[in-house]
Amino acid sequence: MRFQDLHLSEPLLAALATQGYERPTLIQQKAIPHVLAGKDLLGCAQTGTGKTAAFALPMLQRLAVKPQAPHGRARPIRALVLTPTRELAAQIGESFHAYGRNTGLRATVIFGGVGQQPQTSALRQGPDILVATPGRLLDLMSQGYVRFDLLEIFVLDEADRMLDMGFIHDVRRVIRALPRKRQTLFFSATMPDEIRELARDILLDPVRVDITPEVTTPEKIGQTVYYVDRRDKCPLLVQVLADAAITRALVFTRTKRGADKVVRLLERAGIGSVAIHGNKSQGARERALDGFKTGRSRVLVATDIAARGLDIDEISHVINYDIPEVPETYVHRIGRTARAGADGLAMSFCDADERAYFNDIERLLRMRVPMVEDHGFAPPGRPQPAPAARGRGQGKPFGSHARRAAPPRSRAALPAAPPAAPAAPPVNPAHSTRSRGRGRIKPRVWGR
């Protein structure tokens, strides 16, 4: 399917072309037609699936076709996106700017933890779309900076994470200030009772779109984790890749810039590799893939979205150069190896700032991933066992409300070092492609 098939307007299609997006992701294919038709939506999908464009594109289209406020009158806020963290708010704001660049619509982002003055100035200019975290939004509402009388569309993003972070009452307070007649788009990766109740309260005859994560790790994937300082990740990668048993490696980075950087560093070490991501032209992408498929380059460096849909067999190793923030993404990534009945190994390079994410992954897997201890870049001291379970997604709170809910993630305040794997002997990845404790992963699904 192409974006054109979703009946998106020319200004949006042009913006998508500038972004280098070629095809809609699954959630975009499923959600966009319903949102364009004005339906309420209950979406089960997480960050990394293209969820933001799935709501932002049809919202922009709907807002752009309706007449603006009469000349001389302040423009009202016509759409609100409520999201739990400052990073998500900033990312969503950037997406609206990128996708809406040819529409004349304006988006503003507000979140806590920074001075409010630039935000109140931006609000005075009359944004059409407001992206906000709940605490700061309530502050500014109580000071009279924000009114929602003419709101048309409300998006609640990552509802379960709002609950985890202790924001659910704030969310309900915001919703009480919205007009009852509106379109509501509700996203949550899981549906605990409180979230299901909230969805029932605020959605009217919603369409449900469910992008269910994979729920099993293939039996044949061995998994290992290397604890390493961030600055040593590249030398570690070079060391690991010296092993000829690694015939075809897919290396995951969080960002496009990161992917390019890894390729440059590997080049300097004399290891041929190629990167694919959204910034590459179609031709460059195809050449890179071709080189990897034919074995000309042994290493393909990719971001999650770029790797999605790639059909490449015989990937001997998946290397998580960056640990994904969403645990299910890890399962998707490692599922790229051990295709077609082959054995495969997944290696994860985890630095101190990523330990909480890796804990979440192990909790989802319900296993301890064996640790490789005898590599040349192990930081001094063993990782300590994790304290009592933390709620998912509590890694990056901001603002006063968030600080009450969970401490900010900084090196000094890192709450959850990864558990040691006491029973696991040091593993040499070249010899072992098997992990301990493999098995079914408890799925994060609707209705739990």
Measured CA angle at 361 (ends 357, 364), to 5 deg: 140
Establish if 297 lies at the interface with ligand AMP (CB under 6 A). no
Establish if 47 lies at the interface with ligand AMP (CB under 6 A). yes
How far, in Å, are 27, 92, 282 from residue 204 at the CA level? Answer: 20, 24, 41
In terms of CB distance, is 29 or 432 closer to ligand AMP? Answer: 29
Part in contact with ligand AMP (CB under 6 A); list of ranges 20-28, 124-132, 369-377, 439-447: 20-28
Part in contact with ligand AMP (CB under 6 A); list of ranges 42-50, 109-117, 118-126, 208-216: 42-50
DSSP secondary structure code for residue 309 in this structure: T
Tokens in use for 241? 């890749």
Number of amino acids touching ligand AMP (CB under 6 A)? 14
Closest separation in Å from C-beta 13 to ligand AMP: 12
Mark residues 67-96: x for contact with ligand AMP by CB under 6 A, - for none: ------------------------------
Establish if 349 lies at the interface with ligand AMP (CB under 6 A). no
Task: Report CA Rg, the chain.
Answer: 23
With the CA atoms of 224, 228, 234 and 238 taken in that order, what torsion angle do they form, in degrees rounded to the nearest 10? -50
How far, in Å, are 7, 96, 109, 111, 121 from residue 117 at the CA level? Answer: 40, 22, 13, 12, 6
Amino acid at 135: G
Out of 15, 21, 154, 213, the only residue in the binding site for ligand AMP (CB under 6 A) is 21
Q: Compute the distance between CA of residue 404 and CA of residue 342 in angstroms, rounded to an integer.
A: 48
Establish if 49 lies at the interface with ligand AMP (CB under 6 A). yes
Mark residues 246-285: x for contact with ligand AMP by CB under 6 A, - for none: --------------------------------x-------
In terms of CB distance, is 52 or 190 closer to ligand AMP? Answer: 52
Establish if 51 lies at the interface with ligand AMP (CB under 6 A). yes
- β-pair partners for 80: 130, 154
Establish if 187 lies at the interface with ligand AMP (CB under 6 A). no
Name the nearest CA neighbour of 112 among 306, 397, 416, 436.
Answer: 397
Sites of contact with ligand AMP (CB under 6 A):
21, 23-25, 28, 47-53, 278, 305
